[in-house]
Structure 1
Amino acid sequence: MTRGILVAGAVSFYVSVGVREFPVRYASTSSPRWSCAAVSGAAGHIARTLKTLGDDVRLCTVVGRDLLGAGITAELGRADLLGPGIVESVESSSGVTLVAPDGRRMGFPHLAPVDRVAYPPGLFEAQARGADLLVMTNAKFVRDLVPPAARLGVPIAVDVHLIDDLDDEYDRPWLEAARIVFCSHERLPCPPEDWMAGMFRRYPRCQVVGVGLGGRGAALGTRDGLLVRVGAVTPREVVNTTGAGDALFATFLHVWRNTADPVRALRTAVVHAGWKIGSRTPVTASLTREELSRLEAAHPPRVVTGRWDLRPPAGGPGAETF
């Protein structure tokens, strides 16, 4: 088996609906601004992004034998992501996303059908054989696979999305095992730089911490003290910000894996994420490596570097250096 990237997690059938405003006002019936369907979910989006960028991707997921599962299977086939790592279940996971005119979204993921599935550890280990990166999303059925994954000695990457506690009980197995940890800024109890410092103190395996900052771009720290901040770019009109974090995470992993340059990787990742949110279905709008290179040259983001380990404590003089 050739070296590649294993991605474990949920693939879901999603319907995205354009609403006129948040909060949504009650009406017995209302015509949306637009509506479309796509196969998404964190693992689906990450795998598809990596595949389009040219990586060898092995997908470990759960797909139902229902109508939605037929659609998911067909779409994974078109994306060349079908393989022996896909496990059958009775039902598929699904979701609905409401999208406002400014691109803000409200998601309703229904993961219960796949959360109940026990993914075979032997199948996972067979798929992981020879891989040089394991992307272990924080889907519930993946949780029991994290300890055996950690024993393989292969770098693990995870995006824990919305988190507000370094000792988060649910996410702790991933945090203890991962070398690369990404998350959203939305619920962090402190500035991103202080979160990075806390992660490195608490989790000795962690080498890279990335934080998606929404409309402000992204920040990243490495264990040796490097701090990178990349400003957001939006090459197209912002339509739907669903999956922007997945796009940032996946693109960073692709570039980092090929260059070992965290600054370049974060810069390229911000550009790709900023372009993808110009689509009604960002998961289906991925660029090839060559297309992304041209886009980055045309829309270079602002990059600032520094050191998180020399930054004053939160709230102190000079704390807001970026």
Structure 2
Amino acid sequence: MSQQGQQNGPGGDSGYDVLVIGGSGVDTVVRVDALPVPLADSVGVSPISEWPGHTGGNVALGCQALGLDVKFLDVIGDDWIGGQVRERMAKGGVDFEPMISPAGTRRAVNLVDPAGRRMSFYDARDPEGLRMPRDFYAPHVLRARHVHVTIMGFARHLLEDLVGSGVPLSTDLHDWDGIADHHRAFALSADLVFLSAAGAGERIGAVMREILREGRARAVVATAGAGGSYLLTRDGGSTPRHVPATLPPAPVVDSNGAGDAYVSGFLYGRLAGRDLEACAGMGALAGAYACTVAGNSSLIGPDALTAEPSGAA
């Protein structure tokens, strides 16, 4: 375990606190005056920036910044975009071990308005037949206290093995509508499920109950941005409990990565033995902090995460 983890994190003496599988790439961020963008042949914008991370990368970086020992496995390209991912993970202290795919590294173009809201154009580019060999990931699973698996196509083929390992498993379904079969496989396999409330809209409560009823999850968390989040557990009744959003400590700049930061904060609390509502509060604080900086340029640390809350939105 890293020195930082020994001092601040809740991890054990050996192995990894969190193994993250899949979900790296580079975001190209374009700041616009409003969303949706008016139709025009050309629109002047402020300097365009690029942020390596994506969902798996951001969770890995967020957990590492909190003093957890992290291993990150993924498939990227032998290209300059993949080089950006490698460089960012190294800078963040993440033990990143990628396989190389001839299809290249995933990308996204994100339009961000002055309020920090975004519209993302995601280029997954992974071929349908992409696989991660068992001998590549299995030894790391056995060394992990917790596995966070992203909803990459190749990762779907790992689910049965991950469940069989007995290591606690989490996933983020993002804006799942509650219908798509690809996301459902992850929803029903994980012990802890995150998703955005936006995807299912008014049906989000029913979707959360279905995940608990049909799957293995002990808890489901739906994030709703400035509206806070909702927590549903097997022993907490049938109505999701609302967890207020935390007031950002500075003006909102960019909501990219806020959901991933929420996951990192929640996992930190869970590995520290906090109850689920306390974990949701820590997730809310980490997500609010992430909104005050561009991309993943600054991530909340354990001291700020465990400080007394300054207020709720």
Q: Greater shift after overlay, 12-21 or 33-42? A: 33-42
Partner of 1:219: 230
Q: 1:173 aligns with which of 185, 198, 208?
A: 185
Call closer, same or farther: CA 1:78–1:8 in 2, change over 3 Å.
same
What's the CA shift for 1:62?
1.5
After superposition, residues 107-146 of structure 1 pair within 5 angstroms as 107-113=120-126, 117-146=130-159
Conserved 8 A contact 1:10-1:114: no
CA distance in structure 2 between the partners assigned to 1:8 and 1:122 by the alignment: 14
Identity %: 24
CA distance 1:193–1:176, shift in 2 (3 Å): closer
Conserved 8 A contact 1:240-1:277 = yes
Equivalent in the alignment of 1:206: 217
Inter-partner Cα distance in structure 1 for 2:175 and 2:311: 28
2:64 is the counterpart of 1:51: yes
The equivalent position to 1:254 in structure 2, one of 265, 268, 277, is 268
Which of 55, 66, 81 does residue 94 from structure 2 map onto? 81
Q: Deviations over 1:98-126 (max 9, x none)?
A: 00111110111111147653212211101
Describe how 1:220-235 pairs up with structure 2 within 5 A: 220-225=231-236, 227-232=240-245, 233-235=247-249
Secondary structure of the 2:241 match is: strand
Alignment map for 1:1-322 (pairs within 5 Å):
2-83=15-96, 85-90=97-102, 91-113=104-126, 117-165=130-178, 168-188=180-200, 190=202, 192-203=204-215, 205-225=216-236, 227-232=240-245, 233-281=247-295, 283-294=296-307, 297=308, 299-301=310-312
CA distance in 2, matches of 1:82, 1:241: 26
Alignment CA distance shift 1:115-1:92 (3 Å): farther
| Deviation of 1:81 (Å) | 1.8
For residues 264 and 4 of structure 1, the distance between their equivalents in structure 2, rounded to whole angstroms, comes to: 19
Q: Once the 2 structures are TM-superposed, how far is the Cα of residue 65 of structure 1 from its aligned partner? A: 0.9
Compute the displacement of 1:71 (Å).
1.6
Structure 1 portions without partners, runs of 5+: 303-322
In 1: Cα distance, 2:244 partner to 2:29 partner = 27
Deviations 1:206-240 (A, max 9, x none): 10110101211111121111653221222221221
Counterpart in the other structure of 2:5: none
Distance verdict in 2 for CA 1:189–1:102, change over 3 Å: closer
Note the aligned Cα RMSD (angstroms): 1.9
Aligned length: 296
Q: Deviations over 1:135-182 (max 9, x none)?
A: 0111112111111111101111011011122x5311222122111011
Instruction: Provide TM-score, normalisation by structure 1.
Output: 0.86
TM-score with structure 2 setting the length? 0.88
Q: Tell me by how many angstroms 1:292 deviates.
A: 2.4
AA aligned to 2:310 is H
Unaligned runs of 5+ in 2: 1-13
User: 1:116/1:240 Cα in 2 relative to 1: closer, same or farther (>3 Å)?
Assistant: farther
C-alpha separation in 1, matches of 2:39 and 2:21: 38
Which deviates the most, 108-117 or 67-76?
108-117
- Contact 1:93/1:114 (CA < 8 Å) preserved in 2? no
Aligned to 1:320: none
**CA contact under 8 A between 2:16 and 2:71: conserved in structure 1?**
no
- Contact 2:53/2:88 (8 A) holds in 1: no
**Alignment correspondent of 2:4:** none
Partner of 2:3: none
